[in-house]
A and B are shown apart, each in its own frame.
Chain A
Amino acid sequence: MSLQIFIPQDTTALALGAEKVSSAMAHALERRGLNTNITRNGSRGMFWLEPLVEVQIGSARQAFGPVNASDVESILDAVQSNLDGTAKIDHPLHLGEVDQIDYLATQQRLTFKRSGVADPTCITSYQRLEGFVGLTKALSMTGQAIVDELKNSGLRGRGGAAFPAGIKWQTVLDTAGEQKYIVCNADEGDSGTFADRLLMESDPYQLIEGMTIAGLAVGANQGYIYLRSEYPVAHKILNIAIERATDAGFLGANVCNSGRDFFLEVRLGAGAYICGEETSLLESLEGKRGMVRTKPPLPAIEGLFGKPTVVNNVLTLGAVASILEQGSDTYKNFGMGRSRGTLAVQLAGNVKRGGLIELAFGVTLRQVVEDFGCGTFSGRPIRAIQMGGPLGAFLPESQWDTPLDYEAFAAIKAMIGHGGIVVFDDTVDMAAQARFAMEFCVIESCGKCTPCRIGSTRGVEVIDRIVANEDRDNNLILLHDLCDTMELGSLCAMGGMTPFPVRSALTYFKEDFGISSSRDH
């Protein structure tokens, strides 16, 4: 029976030694005289099992993980003694068939359905797995019909702001202009998030397809992926994918012989968190300092180089491909309320089983952390959960039963944002975390508006005084006042939402600031 071996090449697998495993595997196969291919696939997103090696025997893909280079020989022994597939594979790292692993089997994978299945740069594999079906449909539709399909899906921007994607596209479609642009925001800077990276590293053609569909919909012939420089692996894979898609006629001049053009280029950021904010990103793409612009004008009307521009997150554009492929009705049947479709939850931090979990909206935070995460990595009790990146609130246990739904989170002054969940155990010092939130704002503020630029610096100082018990009562009043100013007076979410983690820490974990919990501040 034929064997095929899969070893992931995404950042996390590589960071855990996948390269060593791969070269050990190649040597072992050679020594055994086995003529077996090693495919470097993407990751399934079950990061706590990486490097996750899959061995395909017949049609079943048997998973082993986490694998060290020293485990390779014994895995091959176990596999070779069961080549007819009749006996049970006897190996301590054997996890069964990969599709049957609970963590994966209980997810609703739409955007990430191909993640980890094949070599991410192989265009034939992508097509075999329903790739470019959405694009083919889009090529036979009018721009308005594509936008209508997107509107009907209920898809909201997955970058964090959750603005209805169809309405943004409609504005760009309706704005007259010879030149329009599609910009993909791949500046995934929030701590605890890695879904964009996983999609780009494990299924880059889906992003390319989504962007091309966007171009067809609104009449744009040029796209840019603004990628953060902290993602060197994604950079390499995207460039290969763009080159191959162009060679195969899915990108560039005359896409699929349709007479329509769509050119795509990756542009690297340069280590500025603020460039994840869409107007700052556009400034940066234009070769300028990443200073936030005032809105209006909206980027949909005056965006990149002053032209009508769609700016969407990686996951939004990725979802577009599957919405066109499967139909908007299928997509909107997932979810709850006004949060339709699936959310790519990223479980991170001090957690036993961290990874990518794609689920329909509506599941509670507790279900994700307990059922998928299985508690903390340290084995200590969970004390706080930060959802939505560095600008997201810290949630105490009383709020963990909140369903993952944009409106439900807004109601408790928290946010889903880009879907990142960072778990902290009971050793966390919440005053230090609140201070860090302000400090991060000091480091990453673009400096355009005063509440963000100066307010964050004063915020660090005031928190230090509160913790040191210098005139604590008055400094607490001052901190709340400062938070009000930042929330109400900042140009963008950087200054406007930095108070969220600060205030939630102060409200729910006041003992860490030296305030007795019986007092109400």
Chain B
Amino acid sequence: MLEKDSNVDQLIDQFKTLPGGLLPLLHAVKQLLKCVPDSVVDPIAKGFNLSRAEVHGVISFYHDFNTHPGGHHTVQICRAEACQSMGSRHIESHAKQSLGIDYGETTADGLITLEPVYCLGNCACSPSVRIDDDIHARVDQSRFDQLMTELTTVNANTSGVSS
């Protein structure tokens, strides 16, 4: 944890002089720690000469800045209109049921966090699902199951996460 603290301090030093540097910093913190925890609010406030309330206000405004780490993979299902027109509501309920979690929750094995997303810009080939930085088109229920199986298999082979 100490090492991470010093890494965060380095990032603060790196971004505090950049005009409008708070969002780039928060993205960098999220990349480092997989989230933007409450513990970084104080050092960021000091480094940027802001109040803790201002820093907290920015973190809590944006959907991307989760304060607790999610699972190994983030699975986002598009809820926007184009995907709705192609049956994304069914994918949403199927995903929640088959993974046994609601939006914002992580599976018990720590593998998958499920999130809603509002448009991935892939609207001509809906419904769309994003897994980490990969976007998948025309996802129906069986394709969704297939993608989840791939995640489980890959992780069982590489990181030892039980499935």
Interface residues of A (CB under 8 A from B): 11-12, 14-16, 47-48, 50, 188-194, 196-197, 229-233, 267-273, 284-290, 305, 346-351, 354-355, 377, 386, 390, 420, 422-425, 428, 433, 436, 440, 443-444, 446
Contacts and interface: CB of A to CB of B under 8 A. Distances in A.
Contacts of A444: 118
A308 B65 CA distance: 30
Nearest to A224: B20
Contacts of A271: 62-64, 117
Nearest to B24: A267
29 contacts: A11-B121, A11-B122, A12-B124, A47-B124, A50-B125, A190-B119, A191-B82, A191-B123, A192-B81, A194-B122, A194-B123, A230-B121, A230-B130, A231-B121, A267-B24, A269-B23, A270-B63, A270-B64, A271-B64, A286-B20, A288-B54, A288-B58, A289-B57, A349-B81, A349-B85, A350-B86, A354-B125, A425-B85, A443-B118
A285 B86 CA distance: 34
Among B48, B128, B136, B137: residue with most chain A CB under 10 A: B137
Nearest to B117: A230
B106 interface: no
Main secondary structure on A side of the interface with B: mixed
Contacts of A273: 118
Interface residues of B, number: 42
Contacts of B138: 16
Given A346-B123, A354-B125, A15 B24 contact: no
Contacts of B120: 11, 230
Contacts of A285: 20, 23
B123 A48 contact: no
A350 B85 contact: yes
Contacts of A287: 20-23, 48, 58
B91 to A, nearest CB: 14
B20 A192 contact: no
A349 B85 CA distance: 6
5 closest A-B pairs by CB: A354-B124, A287-B22, A191-B80, A271-B63, A270-B62
A391 B145 CA distance: 33
A47 B82 CA distance: 14
Given A197-B121, A289-B57, A420-B123, A192 B82 contact: yes
A188 B63 contact: no
A63 B84 CA distance: 31
Contacts of B21: 287
B133 interface: yes
Contact of A422 (B64, B85, B136): B85
Interface in B133-147: 133-138
A440 B118 contact: yes
A197 B124 CA distance: 13
Nearest to B120: A230
Nearest to B19: A305
A16 to B, nearest CB: 5
A191 B23 contact: no
Residue among B19, B84, B85, B119 facing the most chain A CB atoms (10 A cut-off): B85
Contacts of B137: 12, 15-16
A133 B119 CA distance: 35
Contacts of A422: 81-82, 85, 123
B113 interface: no
Nearest to A291: B61
Nearest to B48: A287
A271 B80 CA distance: 13
A463 B133 CA distance: 36
Given A271-B64, A422-B82, A347 B121 contact: no
Contact of B81 (A15, A48, A191, A268): A191
Contacts of A233: 135
A50 B125 CA distance: 9
